[in-house]
A and B are shown apart, each in its own frame.
Chain A
Amino acid sequence: MSALAVILLMWLVTYLPRWLGLNLGHLQLPAFWQAFLRFVPVSVFPALLVPDVLGSPEWPQRLMGCVVAVALLLRTRQLALGILGGFAAYWLARVLSG
């Protein structure tokens, strides 16, 4: 599948749930499925990031960056600060490990 086709299909599967929800104001989803939808980001984000850190050849350096990023995010709640601080820690670990 070409990148263009993937992007257009991504558009479709993003637009439809947004539009569908706006049209279903009268509908009451069962509690279980409401909870399922709320837990999707909590579940998908780690599934994306953990293999990318621990499965990498430079995993110790990436892990260092992530630990610092989490500490900064918990303290400041600033997305940009977390990314930049984590990136700096990753680089420090990378330089120190040669």
Chain B
Amino acid sequence: MYNDKVMNCFFNPKHAGVIENYSARGFTGSIECGDAMEITLKIDEREVITNAKFRAYGCTAAIASSEAIITLILGKTISEAENIRNSDIVNYLNGLPDLKLHCSVLGQDVLKDAICNYRKIDNKSEENEVICKCNNIKRKNIENLIIDKRIFSYRELQKLTNVGTICGKCENRVYAILSMAIEKENEILNLENK
């Protein structure tokens, strides 16, 4: 199914892990869709990527594409890296099966996300910010439920969206969104009372 190059990147990735004190981090995908990638980059003052690592959840092609993107960006400047396309990942891997080409797209996406993060540009507008990465639940999904359906409990939100039901790391962020909404609600009530 896969060629030797893909298999080699999968079995012996040389850049797996996380960089402590990274200069930029990129993330894309979700457990729901079966693939996810994270990259962390160390970037020096000349904007050269001096170190980079990945973590990936997904199939052989997803893990191999992650290794490929790291190999392709190491030693390059941010603006050089910006020009890397998913086809470069496919070429580096000597080809991917047609059904797995989307894994190379994930590689391009995660790089884009990391570069935006480095430049402090919001890759996703605020409402599209993914709160629960495991289930790919966005800020707007949660806010809509609070505002339109008047759901003010974390447990209820979990039941309706599955938010925070897998790794649970987003629990605090959901509570923050909830308390902000409640504060807003109280302000409006106070104004009305006055």
Q: Tell whether A and B belong to one assembly.
A: no
| Chain A contact residues, CB within 8 Å of chain B | none
| Chain B contact residues, CB within 8 Å of chain A | none
